[in-house]
Amino acid sequence: MIKSDKLPRIGIIGGAGLLGATAAYCIAARGIADEIILSDVRENMAQSHVMDIEQAVCETSGTKLLVGDIDDLKTSDIIINTAGIPEVKASSRDDYLSGNIVIVRELAAKIKRWGTEPVILSATNPIDILNYELYKLTGLPAAKFIGYSRNDTLRFKWAVAMETGIPVSNLDALVIGEHGDGQIPLFELLRDNATNREVELNDIQRANILKRVTTWFSDYQMLDSGRSSGWTSGAGICHMIDLIINDSDEICPCSVIPKG
């Protein structure tokens, strides 16, 4: 939980990109931040998002939006890292490692010199590795680092709903493991909250669900759209930020730093 009487100050690294801007809009629209600062090497693009978003939410939210450089984020309560190399037609999220780890190492050096301890939410692929790399290089407490991987669980629910007809909003489900090929959908924990019963699946349904969740990334990449799943991740990041701010007891899948 962010221990403060006021709403948090949130910094977004890569704020000019699809994911950074979408997360900023969702957070601002919900009004759960006092201030959001977008930082990006494309300052003009970040500024265009600020001008657009602040008008989009001005009737319903008091969140302030600003553009700043990386050091302007040092007093943020929460930092969301969405910075990464441009989207390419990849066979795996690990294909982004060599390019994105260079960016993460540069960011870590800057964060380390700040002398502050913000919560850092990593949303750059491959998330588990880069989340750990930021922790290792900054030397900040392990509990301050969270990797965004909620999409795996959301897509699992979506696949179950497609196969069974049960609304996603009624499903309780969880995916653990690495964000990517190492994900593990926990079929034994599937529940329909409307009936308070376990979801029973036959072998064909289970196989179809596994196919949907394991081939989703490659199917999306085949579109060669040059964009990430910005809407899904942006909305999910906003949900996670809300949980952190309110110290919710909701179970939210994410990447954390292992103990031992």
The active-site residue, picked from 147, 179, 240, 253, is 179
Q: pTM for the complete prediction? A: 0.91
| Residue-by-residue DSSP string for 114-171 | H----EEEE-SSSHHHHHHHHHHHH---GGGEEEE-HHHHHHHHHHHHHHH---GGGE
pLDDT above 90 for 63: yes
Contact criterion met (CB below 8 Å) for 255 and 40: no
Domains and CATH numbers, the chain: 9-148 (3.40.50.720), 151-222 (3.90.110.10)
Residues 6+ apart with CB under 8 A from 84: 14, 17, 96, 99, 100, 103, 124, 125
Q: What is the pLDDT of residues 94-126, one digit of tens each?
A: 788 889 999 999 999 999 999 999 999 999 999
Place of tokens 């653990």: 176
Read off the tokens for 240.
């996670």
Provide the token pair at 66. 């600003």
Rounded CA gap, 221 and 251, in Å?
29
Per-residue model confidence (pLDDT) at position 2: 53
**Is 239 one of the catalytic residues?**
no
